[in-house]
Structure 1
């Protein structure tokens, strides 16, 4: 079965991603997907239903769902809701990994609900108000939340099956993380497979099975994402942006961009 892999990038000014759920208007389904980051959905109004490993977890206001790294999940929002989403890089918890280089949190949102919900609400208010020093304040609130996660929600004993399931996607996560860090370099399938000790055919199958995409499309998505950021933040020529993002030339950049967004980079830049 294929699951989409979601690429998670932190906000520009803080070392994690904090945002309002895109399904806030209701009538929304996010199909099965996975990512390397730890994810928390904090529901303040409305209702949400999560599916993890084919088990459903309904949420009511005042509850949250914690999704572990590489955990395949989907989200259903039948009606309008107010939900804050926090995505935390897995490396935040590196000092708390088990011997298997693994960390796992309970899905139960009833251990410290009020404190976690309060912290996430405070973080979002601090971040959106953007008063002087907001970056420092929101990070202090964030680390208090991380403290609660590792002391109240972390499970030190995890079944071998859960570890094995996580490691299957950990292998691909290591590859995709390497791609995100080295997107501007020559990342042919052959070179990447050699770096990780796989055959090109095996790595290609891994991408198709677990990301819902082929290797080339996945790499292009990473490069286009960086291209969009540079178009928005710099006055560099499209040729220079294409080169910096790892495309062989501006034509290849334009072709991949149009396939993803239905317009040329030049049109995007005019409309921005």
Structure 2
């Protein structure tokens, strides 16, 4: 964690019931990057604020909900002096460990940020009020009431994430198809996998997963197939030299091209053209 402070759950919570509820605002916030050994789920009720992470910062608005996994450095700050009200729910994963494992579509072990639908905003806010009230009153069996509301909270969050993922993946599918079309038109100057991933604003690893899912083949496999198909078409339809065909199909190494071509077509490029011209 470097110099960033790490808050321990024992300093803020009961060991037998490790949960804490707080309201943060423009007059009550910690501007210092810090981590904590417990899970933190935050929901912005009103206004806007700035959320800083080690790798950057995000502007949050009403209806945004996010989770901060243990030991991730972060902090909140007002945005241009604006007022904000943010609910901060801290708890140890052990409080609902089995439930969290079962609700696998809610990846609370890493940073997550989603904007809740209006309906979910309403329900989440009522649940937050219920948790706050039970923790403050400490009436008999309040631990069970808090766990029940927290369970409902996680169920709603899991459903929201599932819908968000389906919608996002649908958009990504179209973006992947556009990348595939681009590659077909620009074989002489293809995108690297990293460039293609940046084009749709995802990590290279996630792009590889999405691409394989949509195309049914890896990114490199798709490019290899495109190049061989293009080379075959140019051999049959033009009188271009092998060197010119290599350039147009995006090949940089002659030996690699000959090896791949013979593996696919069973003959060398020159034999392929001769056979076509002789009607074989």
Over alpha carbons, which structure has the higher Rg? 2
Shorter-chain TM band: 0.3 to 0.5
Highest relative contact order (Cα 8 Å, sep 6+), 1 or 2? 1
TM-score (norm 2): 0.44
